[in-house]
Amino acid sequence: MMRRTLGTQVTIETEAEEEIWPCYADQVQLESALLNLAINARDALGSEGGLLRIVASNWTARTTLDNASELAPGDYLRIDVSDNGSGIDRETLSRAFEPFFTTKDISRGSGLGLSMVYGFTQQSGGHVSISSEVGKGTMVSVFLPKGVESTPEELTPCTEPVTAGLETHVLMVEDVPA
């Protein structure tokens, strides 16, 4: 799907560590996040194209000062999506995760791609960061908590019917006045 979306002018390289950790994340949201990042990279590369690189690796945050201050110490799957495109200036970079913020024409973007990636990583208990240099390219790093692999022997079927919560009330709180 990514190849068809990006076109032939973009060269896609992928790399993953041999013993990559599983992670806790919704598969569909992860795919959507990677596709959004790839589309942003394609747009930064322009009509002449260039290189999109996706690298997955195991990463351990030892302290909250390790690369991402919002990231709790622990083990994470790190996915770096980088391009050799136009890059992002400092002022634009500071607003990159804001919903509806975009530098694209109205017909080319809604400003929701990076905010969706941010929301997905936060919801997953992870983090996302961007580094960029104008004229050299951009790298977005997604950190997702390491999951635990289960073998079929460790899984036990539920023999009791689930009845808890059948008569509960749900309260939804929204920060939008309307």
Tokens of 123: 């919801």
Neighbours of 91 (CB within 10 A): 7
Instruction: Give the per-residue pLDDT at 54.
Output: 95
d(CA 44, CA 128): 19
Strand, helix or coil for residue 4? helix
Instruction: Give the per-residue pLDDT at 166.
Output: 64
Tens-level pLDDT at each residue, the chain (178 residues): 888 888 888 999 999 999 999 998 899 999 999 999 998 888 888 888 889 999 999 999 887 544 445 788 899 999 999 999 888 888 888 878 877 667 666 656 555 778 889 989 999 999 999 999 998 999 999 999 998 765 555 555 656 665 555 677 777 777 777 6
Full-model pTM:
0.74
Instruction: Give the per-residue pLDDT at 144.
Output: 94
Strand, helix or coil for residue 2? helix
Nearest to 23 by CA among 143, 117, 128, 129: 143
Biggest CA–CA distance in the chain, Å, is 60
